[in-house]
């Protein structure tokens, strides 16, 4: 009689487990049921990204010169970011999310540099250096995200310090480049102000 009571109690406890965990343990493969759906969603997203890229490149053909280069760089960026986002959705990891940030940072940088080709002289030089500074900042955010996934708080803090230095150096170069468009006292004052701003 005691044995029958224990068996009944055990069954009742299994039924009462939140989320049907007991049932999942009794059903082989139940905890992996979402994997095929995730893979299917990823494949569909990649297929759509490739289709969008092909359509965008087709529209770029109507353009010429640097406008065409910018258009193609934007199309490639959008495709690569969409694929990275699909991977992040499938994997759900900080590392995958960091990859999205990196793909966007790299893509935006390439687009920005292409746009700078429409400029000349010092204006173009400043444009390229400002694009580099923006790239360093966006890339830095990706590095911090990736470090948070596996590093300690000290590692994250160190990465942030390195990123801040890289961004500051890139901005310094961009601001210094602006001074080169000046001459005489105005240029000297500009350089002095920039050095003071960045503690150089």
Residue with tokens 């359509």: 55
The radius of gyration of the chain from alpha carbons, rounded to an integer in Å, stands at: 27
The predicted-structure confidence for 152-197, as pLDDT tens digits, reads as follows 899 999 999 999 999 999 999 999 999 999 999 999 999 999 999 9
Q: Quick one: pLDDT at residue 3?
A: 42
pTM of this structure: 0.76
Token digits for 103? 């793909």
Burial 70-96 (b: 16+ CB within 10 A, else e): bbbbbbbbbbbbbbbbbbbebeeeeeb
First to last CA, the chain: 87
- The full set of domain ranges for the chain reads 35-197
**Residue 139 pLDDT > 70:** yes
pLDDT digits (tens, 9 = 90+) for 49-107: 999 999 999 999 999 999 999 999 999 999 999 999 999 999 999 999 999 999 999 99
Short-list 138, 107, 113, 126, CA closest to 173:
126
**pLDDT, position 37:** 65
pLDDT band at 121; cut points 50, 70, 90? very high
Tracing tokens 């055990």 back to the chain, one arrives at 10
């Amino acid at each position: 009689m005691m044995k029958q009571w224990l068996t009944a109690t055990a069954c009742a406890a299994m039924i009462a487990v939140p989320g049907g965990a007991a049932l999942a343990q009794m059903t082989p493969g139940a905890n992996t049921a979402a994997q095929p759906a995730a893979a299917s969603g990823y494949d569909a997203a990649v297929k759509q990204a490739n289709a969008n890229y092909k359509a965008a490149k087709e529209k770029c053909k109507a353009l010429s010169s640097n406008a065409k280069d910018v258009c193609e760089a934007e199309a490639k960026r959008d495709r690569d970011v969409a694929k990275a986002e699909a991977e992040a959705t499938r994997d759900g990891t900080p590392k995958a999310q960091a990859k999205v940030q990196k793909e966007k940072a790299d893509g935006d940088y390439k687009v920005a540099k292409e746009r700078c080709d429409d400029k000349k002289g010092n204006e173009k030089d400043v444009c390229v250096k400002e694009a580099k500074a923006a790239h360093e900042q966006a890339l830095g955010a990706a590095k911090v995200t990736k470090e948070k996934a596996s590093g300690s708080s000290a590692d994250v803090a160190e990465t942030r310090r390195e990123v801040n230095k890289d961004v500051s150096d890139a901005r310094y170069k961009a601001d210094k480049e602006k001074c080169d468009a000046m001459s005489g006292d105005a240029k000297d004052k500009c350089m002095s102000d920039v050095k003071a701003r960045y503690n150089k």
